[in-house]
Amino acid sequence: MEGSTIIFYMLALLSLLSAVLAVTTRQIFRAAIYLLFSLIGIAGLYFWLQYEFIAAVQIVIYVGGIVVLIIFSIFLTQATGEKLPKQKYGSQLFAVLAAFCGFTVTVLQLFKYSFKQTDLPHVEPTVSNIGNMMLGLTENGYALPFEVVSILLLAAMVGCIVIALKNKSLKKV
Amino acid sequence: MIQPGLYQILFISTALFFIGIYGFFTRRNLITILMSVELVLNSVNLNFIAFNKYLWPNRLDGVFFTIFIIAIAAAEAATAIAIIINLYRSHQSIDVENAEEMKY
């Protein structure tokens, strides 16, 4: 057995186990930390697949940005040390059943299907290749979606500021 | 042990997707629901990267889809947290039962 196989299964175990703990633990701060480990495990899988740029983006944006944002909002809205209320047994059973059935159907279909690989020459996912294609204007270029996403990010930023502004008429009441 | 390949990665991403779906069904707190949505988005990203690596290595389309999904997820998380904090200001709690007034 090779070392890379062991590393793959360890990363998979890390991300799946901490994902399960993140959705089942009743302490919300711990859930955020387990989510952090799950995202790090997925970043490790990207490294394992040799997509280093995507792994770096994953760590910078998810681990460094979104999880920190979530932890901040937990501090702002949650009493520390308080457990979340227990779920109803029936609704939990229903959720387990729904998730498990969906998982089984998808996996059965997945292993029945045989994928075909192309024989065309490989393009290495280096940073220069990604940059040239992302801002390229040829038929494989992604300049237009790039601009659309930049507009979306700007709109989200303005929207956040508008939503988070203190409403003066509410304050007087 | 089986040599890891496309099927193993797709299995992992399917499992992550349905773990996220389970959290989405059972949680009542808006921040934990947001965490479940992040898990689902991550499983989709893993899928795109795996397909790009094993089936279409001649193009980089999966990489771009992943980058755009990450950007959209960041925008979504920021907007959702702004809404959650605003909801907390008016209701002093962030359970989904309190959010039903938002439709008016």
Q: Which residues on A lie below 8 Å from B15 (Cβ)?
A: 16, 103
Please judge whether B39 and A23 are an interchain contact, meaning their C-beta atoms are less than 8 angstroms apart: yes
A80 pLDDT more than 80:
no
Q: Read out DSSP for chain A?
A: --HHHHHHHHHHHHHHHHHHHHHH-S-HHHHHHHHHHHHHHHHHHHHHTT-HHHHHHHIIIIIIIIHHHHHHHHHHHS-TTPPPPPPPHHHHHHHHHHHHHHHHHHHHHHHH-------SPP----HHHHHHHHT--STT--HHHHHHHHHHHHHHHHHHHHHHSPPHHHHH-
pLDDT digits (tens, 9 = 90+) for B19-69: 999 999 888 888 999 999 999 999 999 999 999 988 888 888 889 999 999
Going by C-alpha positions, the residue among B18, B51, B38 that lies closest to residue A20 is: B18
* Chain A, nearest residue to B3 by Cα: A5
User: Is residue B96 within 8 Å of B26, Cβ to Cβ?
Assistant: no
- Is residue A16 located within the same domain as residue A70? yes
* Residues found in chain B: 104
* A127 CB within 8 Å of a chain B CB: no
Confidence (pTM): 0.89
Range of A158's domain?
Answer: 124-173
Greater model confidence, A104 or A79: A104
Please give the structure tokens belonging to residue A132: 């040239």
pLDDT digits (tens, 9 = 90+) for A137-172: 877 788 888 999 999 999 999 999 888 787 666 554
A173 pLDDT more than 50:
no
pLDDT band at B1 (very low <50, low <70, confident <90, very high): low
- Is residue A128 located within the same domain as residue A55? no
- Is residue A77 located within the same domain as residue A128? no
Please judge whether B11 and A107 are an interchain contact, meaning their C-beta atoms are less than 8 angstroms apart: yes
pLDDT digits (tens, 9 = 90+) for A16-37: 999 999 999 888 889 999 999 9
Q: Is residue A119 part of a domain?
A: no
Domains of chain B, each with CATH number or no CATH: 6-103 (1.10.287.3510)
N-terminal to C-terminal alpha carbon distance within chain A: 69
Question: Which residue, A62, A82, A102, sits at the end of a domain?
Answer: A82
Percent of residues, chain A, with pLDDT higher than 70: 94
Please judge whether A32 and B35 are an interchain contact, meaning their C-beta atoms are less than 8 angstroms apart: yes
